[in-house]
Amino acid sequence: MVCDDLVSAAELEALFGGNAYEARMSWGPSVSPVTYAVQNIGGLSCTWGNDDVPVSGIANPAYDELTVQVIPDATAAQLDLHTGDHPLDDAPAFGDTSGTTCFAQAGLCTSNIVVGQAWIEVFLQGADVADIASDADVQALASPALSAITERVAAAANRAAPVAAVTARTDCDVILPAATVQSVFHTEELPVHSQYSSGGWSVMTGAATLAGVARCIVGPAGSEVAHANLELLPHGAWVFEDAQVARGVWENHEAVSVEGVTQQAYLSCPVGTVAACAVDFVVGDDWVRLGSSINGQRPIEDGDRGQVLELAGHVASALA
């Protein structure tokens, strides 16, 4: 099954009105090891829509997005966690069980669906409904597409090959030593490692567990501010291949070099903006993202770029 098998042009038109949207497996605003973990384990992550992405949480009425993510062979334990985090109370249900919530004001729906061993998560924003529509009206508009997606996944589920789970690395003190972070960022106190929260249970976090995504965060003791955070996706180097670059995976990033890394790396660290710095690079067959959480503290400066790239060189050396 591929993205074009999931949603038809007629269904997209029913959701958004006239459009020429095509499926994208590579979507610039959401490039990260966690978001790509779904594809890494043989699942699907497909997006249709435009690029009018809301900025800083401010709604954009022109924004359209339909994202469908599928793990075709989720484990029973994952499905239990999934149902514990998402009430599956649709009546009637899509598939075996499902839970769907819609909001008329934003033309938005989220739906979690279990059919057989397949776990489906759908996010819809920009549904083409009247201003006076109710939440139920939005769900009624979305329901035909949700039903069709579920039926298509169910028909294809028996063709999915089982995926062996990968054990995530937990040696954050080796990958991202606190003393190295202290040296690069010139902090007075030695920072400490802490648990990297995944922020709930979803198809993405379930896939990240199966794919063995490692997460490390280092910051001052007793503070929510992080000096550095790291995500590592085993066997994720394919996202840096020429075909993915040509599809625009890294179009919102700057091509850079990381010391000790032979392959092209990509930096997102726009000077003068209040954002975060992050650099993505390959070590062996693994995708590493290293970030510096400047977001909300002050605008990014030139020195911040140098620091995150310097730290990336240390991480690459530790992983080599």
The pLDDT tens digits of the residues spanning 240-263 come to 999 988 888 898 899 999 999 999
Q: Indicate the SS3 state at residue 94.
A: coil
Q: Give the tens place of pLDDT for each residue, 152-181.
A: 999 885 555 656 778 888 899 999 999 999
Report how far residue 86's alpha carbon sits from residue 199's, in angstroms, rounded to the nearest whole number.
13
Q: 172-319 in CATH: which number?
A: 3.40.1000
Q: 3-159 in CATH: which number?
A: 3.40.1000
Q: So what's the pLDDT on residue 122?
A: 94
Q: For the chain, list the strands marked E by DSSP.
A: 44-49, 65-71, 97-103, 108-115, 118-125, 192-194, 214-219, 228-233, 254-256, 265-268, 277-283, 286-292
Domain ranges of the chain: 3-159, 172-319
Percent with pLDDT over 90 in the chain: 40
Q: So what's the pLDDT on residue 202?
A: 78
In degrees and rounded to multiples of 5, residue 187 shows phi and psi of -85, 145
pTM: 0.82
In the structure encoding, which two tokens stand for residue 19, read together? Answer: 């459009």
Q: So what's the pLDDT on residue 30?
A: 66
Task: Decide if 3-159 and 172-319 have a common fold.
Answer: yes
